[in-house]
């Protein structure tokens, strides 16, 4: 199954092309530019490098959130546009936190992805890996750091853009709570492909593809405040 994956949910813009268990191409850029300027040229570059057209793909996957509101909308809109132009393609949205867990699938034990949401508040989920496959054991949520650390337990691996802070603040002397290697803490598009291949039933139509913010957007908060 040939897949293109894009991730615009966080601090990096990432894209990857895979064919079954084989990684054909991948690129990740930590950038100050908007993802809308980078992600489609990046995807086209990788497809050209692999000698593939969109029509030759079996599916396209994006990170559906949580993460940057604007970034998530860019990624979802890009996938919708590609699929609407090539109706034979499947598409799917994968949890950003689940994909972060798949980055560390070789770890045997509990994997806790932690992303900063705002001061004192994080996005987190709890996953478990047998060294090859990842499964969710505590649903993704937005919560206080204190609630997050209560979910960690022992023999755990922290990952995500806020994992180093959580480790230092709450688990500095706890040897069986570790941080993922630096190279695996941020989003990788290839992990989206791994998650989709493990659960191809998550494919949806372009109309059904939607971001999962886990908390109200600023516009929704402003409206609620006015009301």
Q: pLDDT tens digits for 21-78?
A: 899 999 999 987 789 999 999 999 999 999 999 999 999 999 999 999 999 999 999 9
Instruction: Report the pLDDT value the prediction gives residue 226, as an integer from 0 to 100.
Output: 56
Q: At what angle do helices 35-50 and 69-85 cross, to 10 degrees?
A: 40
Instruction: Report the pLDDT value the prediction gives residue 215, as an integer from 0 to 100.
Output: 86
Domains and CATH numbers, the chain: 2-96+188-226 (3.30.420.40), 97-184 (3.30.420.200)
Instruction: Report the pLDDT value the prediction gives residue 217, as an integer from 0 to 100.
Output: 58
Cβ atoms of residues 20 and 3 within 8 Å? no
Asked if the model's pLDDT at residue 172 lies above 60, the reply is yes
Opening angle at CA 200, ends 141 and 203, nearest 5? 75
Nearest of 63, 64, 61, 65 to residue 91 by alpha carbon? 61
Confidence of residue 105 (pLDDT cuts 50, 70, 90): very high
Instruction: Report the pLDDT value the prediction gives residue 13, as an integer from 0 to 100.
Output: 96
Asked if the model's pLDDT at residue 220 lies above 80, the reply is no
Confidence of residue 227 (pLDDT cuts 50, 70, 90): low
pTM of the model: 0.94
Q: How far apart are CA 62 and CA 175, in angstroms?
A: 34
- Rounded to a whole number of angstroms, the CA Rg of the chain reads 17
C-alpha dihedral (18, 25, 76, 102), degrees to nearest 10: 60
The mean of the pLDDT values for the chain is 93
Asked if the model's pLDDT at residue 160 lies above 70, the reply is yes
Opening angle at CA 68, ends 208 and 70, nearest 5? 70
Instruction: Report the pLDDT value the prediction gives residue 33, as an integer from 0 to 100.
Output: 76
Range of lowest pLDDT (80-94, 135-149, 186-200): 80-94
Confidence of residue 222 (pLDDT cuts 50, 70, 90): very low
Instruction: Report the pLDDT value the prediction gives residue 225, as an integer from 0 to 100.
Output: 47
Q: How far apart are CA 189 and CA 26, in angstroms?
A: 7
């Amino acid at each position: 199954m040939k897949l293109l994956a894009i991730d615009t949910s966080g601090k990096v813009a990432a894209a990857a092309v895979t064919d079954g268990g084989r990684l054909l191409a991948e690129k990740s850029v930590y950038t100050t530019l908007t993802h809308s300027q980078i992600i489609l040229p990046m995807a086209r570059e990788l497809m050209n490098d692999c000698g593939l057209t969109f029509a030759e793909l079996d599916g396209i996957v994006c990170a559906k959130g949580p993460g940057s509101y604007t970034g998530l909308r860019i990624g979802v809109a890009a996938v919708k546009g590609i699929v609407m132009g090539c109706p034979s393609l499947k598409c799917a949205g994968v949890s950003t936190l689940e994909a972060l867990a798949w980055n560390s699938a070789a770890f045997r034990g509990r994997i806790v992805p932690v992303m900063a949401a705002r001061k004192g508040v994080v996005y987190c989920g709890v996953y478990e890996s047998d060294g090859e496959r990842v499964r969710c054991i505590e649903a993704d949520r937005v919560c206080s750091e204190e609630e997050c650390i209560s979910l960690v337990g022992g023999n755990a691996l922290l990952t995500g853009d806020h994992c180093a802070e959580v480790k230092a603040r709450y688990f500095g002397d706890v040897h069986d709570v570790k941080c993922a290697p630096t190279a695996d803490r941020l989003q990788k598009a290839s992990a989206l492909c791994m998650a989709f291949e493990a659960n191809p039933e998550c494919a949806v139509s372009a109309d059904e593809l939607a971001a999962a913010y886990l908390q109200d957007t600023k516009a929704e908060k402003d409206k609620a405040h006015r009301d």
